[in-house]
Amino acid sequence: MEPHYMGLIGMGVMLLLILMHVPIGVAMGIAGVATFGMIRGNLAPALTLFGTETVGKVGSAELAVIPLFLLMGSFATVGGLSSDLYRIAHALIGHIRGGLAV
């Protein structure tokens, strides 16, 4: 079977899984692994690649910033910095029409 048709089958599987209310990320992962396995003719390399890439992306420095950003926001809230910033912004641009929405 041509790889183009296998790709279309993979897209169909993904859409079917989404219509079955499977989360989109899970549906994309299942369809991608299944399609890669069909193209290669063996599911083992697809599962190995899926595991390696997943661990590599989750352990990346780009995603490590997200919990630190949330921690910084918590510190700002507990320390009162966020309410101070709101009061300063309201004093500076609160009189403009639209005020803080701008």
Q: What is the pLDDT of residue 102?
A: 61
The encoded tokens of residue 33 equal 């692994």
Reduced to 3 states (helix: H, G, I; strand: E, B; else coil), residue 98 is coil
Mean predicted confidence (pLDDT) in 83-100: 86
Kindly report the pTM of this predicted structure: 0.55
Average pLDDT of the residues of the chain: 88
The encoded tokens of residue 78 equal 């507990």
Chain centroid offset of residue 15 CA: 19
Task: Report whether pLDDT(1) > 80.
Answer: no
pLDDT band at 13 (very low <50, low <70, confident <90, very high): very high
- DSSP per-residue letters across 13-71: HHHHHHHTT--HHHHHHHHHHHHHHHHHT-HHHHHHHHHHHHHHHHTSHHHHHHHHHHH
- Encode pLDDT of 23-32 as tens digits: 999 999 999 9
Task: Report whether pLDDT(16) > 80.
Answer: yes
Name residue, tokens 């690649």. Answer: 49
- Encode pLDDT of 47-81 as tens digits: 888 888 888 888 788 888 888 999 999 999 899 89
